[in-house]
């Protein structure tokens, strides 16, 4: 084990829950917790483009810390401010954000893969994320752990081919079904970059990792097992092997495969992740029954409950807490997807307070 030089950690609740311990209360954070619902975030964004913020460690650090400062003592993890689309950029693609992601030159046919960098030097291309992580770890002063992340290969592949968001993923699916071998090869190429990127984030100071497969639910169970699952397994095994080989702490890894609840039992047994993130389409107690006590669970309140007012939030948190506490195993409280821009920050505060109140282990 390496001993690092960062300030000592004062709140390890999320690390214990991720390792499967039933904690005295559930640790809580929310996806996109540093985002547009915060006036202090919008203030920084007035003067800086989205990817400029990602590429400037001082700005990324400042924004990562915003929810930690606003909700001191209520939130149990920070997540580095960045985006899943920095990997396509590192592979040589141009990505704009206006206001959603847009690729001026997406991959149209497999011949376009030759436009990607053959060898991706992650340190060179994404060293700014590593610098932001190191700076954030220092400025957190051990208050809460710092989460690093990447997009899953299938979700990134879909963006690289669609050229942005899409309702049907028709272009990405054309690739899967017309060029399955070329698709698998590209998916594995992306996965290798993910591995380097995640290992680099741990070296830089990330204490937990999350892989976002936001579009997993667009695939049938069969296609998920053919096109996404092998890359997710490749990432978990390779990251763990590399961390062990380099004598680094074995960091818990969270997989958020949105919409792939059909695969929960299989993923719990086989995918090699410590925590499975859940969207809100599955009942907490049912999810716990399906996975047994082999993994911790994270989630899963519908983010739109935050628009329902304090009573609705309290009732949903109480119900969710009872569900997750039915079985054994760790639980990290979160939303079932990212918080959206219209939420009143005081309603998020209330969500955190309700988690503190209702998630106690009896
Ligand atoms: C699919 C995806 C993306 N990015 C991400 C995903 C996976 C999670 C998910 O499914 O939501 C992940 C992401 N994006 C961002 C983070 C930072 C950490 C966090 O607070 O969670 C993380 C973890 C910042 C961001 N990434 C983005 C913003 C808002 C952009 C802005 O400031 O104008 C933030 C705070 C932009 C972004 N980035 C992306 C989209 C589709 C958009 C635009 C639409 C939207 O805002 O939801 C791609």
Tell me if 132 CB under 6 Å of ligand 1: no
Cα 14 to ligand 1 centre (Å): 22
What tokens were used for 212? 């976002």
Instruction: Please state the atom number of ligand 1 nearest to the C-alpha of residue 82.
Output: 17
Residues of the chain above pLDDT 70, percent: 99
Whether the predicted pLDDT of 124 surpasses 90: yes
Looking at ligand 1, which residue's alpha carbon is closest to its atom 15? 83
Of 3-7, 184-188, 326-330, where does mean pLDDT reach its minimum? 3-7
Tell me if 359 CB under 6 Å of ligand 1: no
The pick from 30, 31, 32 for probing ligand 1's pocket by mutation, whose C-beta has the most ligand atoms within 8 angstroms, reads: 32
Assigned architecture for domain 3-358: Alpha-Beta Barrel (3.20)
- The pLDDT of residue 328 is 85
Q: Round the CA-based radius of gyration of the chain to a whole number and report it.
A: 19
Banded pLDDT at 3 (limits 50, 70, 90) = low
Cα 89 to ligand 1 centre (Å): 15
Name the average pLDDT for the chain: 97
What tokens were used for 230? 């092998």
Cα 44 to ligand 1 centre (Å): 16
Contact between 302 and 316 under an 8 Å Cβ cutoff? The reply is yes
- ipTM value of the model? 0.94
Tell me if 217 CB under 6 Å of ligand 1: no
Tell me if 212 CB under 6 Å of ligand 1: yes
- The pLDDT of residue 1 is 43
Residues of the chain above pLDDT 90, percent: 95
Whether the predicted pLDDT of 66 surpasses 80: yes
The residues with which 104 forms a beta bridge, in sequence order, are: none
Whether the predicted pLDDT of 362 surpasses 70: no
Instruction: Please state the atom number of ligand 1 nearest to the C-alpha of residue 97.
Output: 36
Tell me if 31 CB under 6 Å of ligand 1: yes
Cα 46 to ligand 1 centre (Å): 17
Cα 101 to ligand 1 centre (Å): 9
Q: Give the CA dihedral 244, 247, 252, 258, nearest 10 degrees.
A: -60
Looking at ligand 1, which residue's alpha carbon is closest to its atom 46? 100
Q: Which residues are catalytic?
A: 32, 36, 45, 83, 159
Tell me if 186 CB under 6 Å of ligand 1: no
Tell me if 323 CB under 6 Å of ligand 1: no
For the residues 142-163, what does the mean pLDDT come to? 98
- The pLDDT of residue 87 is 98
pLDDT tens for 280-333 read 999 999 999 999 999 999 999 999 999 999 999 999 999 999 999 988 899 999
For the residues 254-268, what does the mean pLDDT come to? 98
Whether the predicted pLDDT of 210 surpasses 60: yes
Domain residue ranges of the chain, discontinuous segments joined by +: 3-358
pLDDT tens for 96-123 read 998 999 999 999 999 999 999 999 999 9
Q: What is the pTM of this model?
A: 0.97
């Amino acid at each position: 084990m390496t001993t690092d030089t960062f300030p000592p950690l004062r709140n390890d609740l999320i690390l214990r829950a991720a390792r499967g311990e039933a904690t005295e209360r559930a640790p809580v954070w929310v996806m996109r917790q540093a985002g547009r619902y915060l006036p202090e975030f919008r203030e920084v964004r007035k003067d800086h483009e989205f990817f400029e913020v990602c590429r400037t460690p001082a700005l990324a650090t400042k924004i990562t810390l915003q929810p930690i400062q606003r909700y001191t003592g209520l939130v149990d993890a920070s997540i580095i401010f960045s985006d899943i689309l920095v990997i396509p950029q590192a592979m040589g693609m141009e990505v704009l954000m206006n206001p959603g992601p847009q690729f001026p030159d997406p991959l149209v046919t497999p011949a376009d893969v030759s436009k990607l960098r053959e060898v991706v030097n992650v340190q060179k291309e994404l060293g700014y994320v590593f610098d932001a992580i190191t700076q954030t770890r220092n400025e957190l002063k051990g208050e809460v752990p710092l989460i690093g992340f990447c997009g899953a290969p299938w979700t990134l592949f879909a963006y690289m081919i669609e050229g942005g968001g899409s309702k049907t993923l028709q272009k990405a699916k054309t690739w899967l079904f017309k060029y399955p071998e070329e698709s698998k090869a590209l998916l594995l190429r992306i996965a290798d970059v993910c591995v380097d990127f995640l290992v680099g984030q741990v070296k830089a100071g990330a204490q937990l990792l999350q892989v976002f497969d936001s579009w997993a639910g667009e695939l049938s169970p069969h296609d998920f097992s053919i096109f996404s699952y092998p890359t997710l397994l490749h990432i978990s095994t390779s990251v763990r092997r590399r961390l062990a080989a380099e004598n680094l702490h074995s960091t818990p890894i969270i997989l958020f495969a949105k919409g792939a609840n059909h695969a929960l039992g299989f993923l719990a047994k086989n995918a090699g992740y410590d925590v499975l993130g859940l969207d809100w389409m599955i009942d907490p107690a049912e999810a716990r029954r399906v996975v047994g006590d082999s993994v911790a669970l994270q989630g899963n309140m519908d983010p739109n409950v935050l628009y329902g007012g304090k009573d609705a939030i309290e009732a949903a948190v109480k119900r969710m807490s009872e569900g997750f506490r039915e079985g054994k195993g760790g639980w990290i409280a979160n939303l079932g997807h990212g918080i959206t821009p219209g939420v009143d920050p005081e309603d998020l505060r209330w969500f955190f307070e309700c988690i503190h109140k209702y998630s106690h282990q009896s």
